[in-house]
Copies of this chain bind each other. A is one copy, B any other.
Amino acid sequence: MWGLIRAALIALLVITAPSAACAQNDPLPSWNDGAAKTAIMAFVARVTTAGGSDYVAPEARIATFDNDGTLWCEQPVYFQVAFALDRLKAMAAQHPEWKTRKSFKAVKTVLEKDRKNGAESDPKALDASDEKALLDVVTATHAGMSTEAFAQSVLDWIATARHPRFKRPYTDLVYAPMVELLSFLRRNGFKTYIVSGGGVEFMRPWTERVYGIPPEQVIGSAIHVQYQVRDGRPVLVRLPEIAFIDDRAGKPAGIQRAIGRRPIAAFGNSDGDYEMLRWTTAGPGPRLGLIVHHTDAAREWAYDRESSVGRLARALDDAPRYGWIIADMKDDWKVIYPFQK
């Protein structure tokens, strides 16, 4: 009898073990066989092999992912900018003072062109290099309401807005190979985080559904929130003041603030991820740094050194020096978006 019970226990343990995923033929079916996929698989095998010299305890298996251009598309403009422009139009009627606000000039041009043409606004007409104006627009359209009201406005936009090229909800434009990678890492005991220059509260309402990443594992840029009691009820009000920019050298700082330990794997696509890649891969023991290189003009976009969105130069140059893997979108990815599967 005990033999049978033991057999049953072993069977159950096999079924429920975290490495059950490895029983699949291919955990990364949207990746072509190549150096990038091989490096990912080898790294995961190394850190999860119990008794191996490179074994990493599950609680230290922290993996951080940039969002724009790494997990989802960032062209023709960062999706949060498209959201801000749509908010600006929607909120303009209640804010007549915005018409004369100096830093809104670039944005006003877009709006007036729209009014004349009756056309959808073209986010490209807004000079993306005018960062101050953009920041001002984002702050104005993202503040003044409760955290709950803002989250609802994000969900409403995600449900209705359509990407200008693909005519689909923006959350359809996540990268299938990266969604598979997130899932593969989690099945191997990793805790997956987003570490993005984008606004933390712009991402949280949908990251769990789309990426399987809960709100508490999203790190991003933030404005100040203030606790207030309104009509006897406590609310958190979003203030038009930047609290933190989670980009470049801000990324390791944001990681330390939120996680308090160094990741062992980091994934990015631009020079904005340089310091996160450096910080992650400079630690002791096995490390993985990976850069998504946008090389596919036919299926997505091709850009790097000269792009105002997702500029990638220094990180590309230094990748060999620090052992960062380049995932070439055109060569390494069998499909780009889940709807193409």
Contact = CB atoms under 8 A, between A and B. Distances in A.
Interface residues of A, number: 42
A204 B275 CA distance: 23
A96 interface: no
A201 B236 contact: no
A12 B7 CA distance: 12
Work out how many copies of this chain go into the complex.
2
A297 interface: no
Interface stretch (A128-136, A251-259, A306-314): A251-259
B256 A236 contact: yes
Contacts of A275: 227, 234
A214 B59 contact: yes
A4 interface: yes
Contact of A5 (B8, B216, B243): B8
A292 interface: no
A227 B249 contact: yes
Contacts of A200: 257, 260
Contacts of A226: 249, 253
A208 to B, nearest CB: 8
Contacts of A191: 216
A114 to B, nearest CB: 33
A296 to B, nearest CB: 31
A225 interface: yes
A273 B328 CA distance: 50
A257 B8 contact: no
B214 A227 contact: no
A39 interface: no
Nearest to A257: B222
A137 interface: no
A257 B222 CA distance: 8
Given A4-B4, A5-B4, A252 B234 contact: yes
Nearest to A232: B282
A204 B59 CA distance: 14
Interface string A1-39: 100110111001000000000000000000000000000
B8 A260 contact: no
Contacts of A258: 216, 258
A227 B215 contact: no
A233 interface: yes
Nearest to A283: B234
A252 B234 CA distance: 10
A254 to B, nearest CB: 10
A222 B229 CA distance: 25
B4 A257 contact: no
Contacts of A204: 260
A147 interface: yes
Contact of A8 (B9, B147, B253): B9
A225 B259 CA distance: 13
Given A216-B258, A233-B282, A236-B252, 9 more contacts: A1-B4, A5-B8, A200-B260, A204-B260, A215-B260, A215-B261, A227-B253, A236-B279, A243-B257
